[in-house]
Chain A
Amino acid sequence: MVHISDGVLPPTMLAAGFVLTAVLLYSSLKGVKAEEIPKISLITAALFVASLVHFPIGPTSVHLIMNGLAGILLGRRAYAGVFVALTLQAVFFQHGGITVLGVNTFNIGLPALLAWQIFEHRRGLKTPRREVVFGGLAGGLAVLTSVLMVSLELLAMGEEFREISILVIGVHLPVVLIEAVVAGGAAGLLVNVKPEMLSGSRNRTSEVH
């Protein structure tokens, strides 16, 4: 439910979502180089495929969102990645929708940028496990922020949406913890095995030209 479906939000919110997403997309893709495209596309595809990975929670299961990991890997390009991933999810999976693309990208993409900024602060910590710690923080907080944004938007529609807003938060609290562990673990492995994949690291392919 972190993807809001078509048909739920009022026109003013949809319009605001498209305007904000257009501005952030422009900023995200400004100065993008040809050699960055494969990496952005790969992480975008990973975001899409991540929604196929289910984690068991008692009798039910939840799927991963991975916007924190997208921020950790792509930096400011993450917003464009989220936009493309959500468009593909909307048309191929019917998760979310076309008219809510602006709002959903804002809800998931802005926290991805927040995750990138949190992860950038790892350089201040002098411990070999700093990528795990900051990766976990970034991954968990990105999902938490997304969930809170969705809840606030639903709440802004009226008092009658209060219970649904609470339900959205409740359902996603386990996802926050799982994503923190997954993003922290993944960042820890990546820094040891393939550090150039992390945001801010020098991309080897850029040396081609």
Chain B
Amino acid sequence: MSHFDLEECFRLESPIHCWEARARVLSILVLIFSVALAGDIPKALAGLAVALLLIVISRLPLDHVARFMKWPALFLLPFVIILPFTTSGDPLFSISAIAPSAQGLSTGLLFFIRGLAAALLALLIVATAPFTVTIRALRDMGLPGSLEQIFLFAYRYIFLLNEELTTMSRSMDSKGFIKRSDFKTARILSLSLAMLLIRSYERAEEVFLAMISRGYTGTIHVGSRREIGMDDILKCFLVLSAAIGIQAL
């Protein structure tokens, strides 16, 4: 499964998938902020445990979830590696002049755990419902109409551009183009990206004109939303309690 095949996960059935969209998005957003602002490692670990529990409940394939976590882990790892050597404090061990500090390691690990837990929860928002449903929920919670439309159009164009990019890369490969660390590669990439933009722009224009001819005036009507039930409120209560609990630990 690639990053563009998240829609496969929408078909899964779980208590998170059937949670009303507004309640789900708002509760998980609050939990993300609580986890990302956890003040110490025990609190951050509690946040990570809650995030993992929600992932398990959502029945998302764990190997795919692990693949999605590659980037945050890669971005956060430098803090764990570098901070022990740049932060003053009690040395963990000492080999000649090298003495990593416990305080530095603690800060690095705190960033790492908080970041990973927040990334897991962000994935949970988009992997448990179609993107249009999530954006509609945000619109109901005050997202401006213009931003809602940019989100919806951009989401669709991503698939279009990715398809075009794949075709273009294949075509360049078949003509013997090899990426090197040189000016020529950068120049060829610039022309390819510009051509990609032009082709997609022309298609976007055609789609826009077709939409106007079908009565588009600047608003998109997405399907009706369902009412919030008692089970949705109960799930909100549990997740928000966890968010408060992490801060109160």
Contacts and interface: CB of A to CB of B under 8 A. Distances in A.
A58 B179 CA distance: 11
Nearest to A132: B190
A186 B154 contact: no
Contact of B32 (A6, A45, A53, A204): A6
Contacts of A83: 147
A25 B150 CA distance: 13
Contact of A41 (B36, B150, B193): B150
A57 B29 CA distance: 37
Contacts of B76: 5, 7-8
Interface string B1-20: 00100100000000000000
Contacts of B110: 7
Given A53-B193, A163-B86, A186-B194, A45 B154 contact: yes
B210 to A, nearest CB: 11
B141 interface: no
Interface stretch (B160-168, B225-233, B236-244): B160-168
Interface stretch (A109-117, A119-127, A141-149, A190-198): A190-198
Nearest to B69: A94
B207 interface: yes
A178 B198 contact: no
Interface in A36-52: 37-46, 48-50, 52
B151 interface: yes
Nearest to A50: B193
A160 B83 contact: yes
28 contacts: A1-B75, A5-B75, A5-B115, A6-B72, A7-B113, A7-B115, A37-B150, A41-B149, A42-B161, A46-B200, A49-B165, A52-B162, A54-B179, A58-B181, A94-B69, A94-B122, A97-B115, A97-B119, A99-B33, A160-B88, A161-B83, A162-B86, A163-B82, A164-B83, A177-B186, A181-B187, A189-B194, A205-B209
Given A42-B197, A80-B147, 7 more contacts: A33-B218, A46-B196, A97-B119, A159-B86, A162-B86, A181-B186, A197-B198
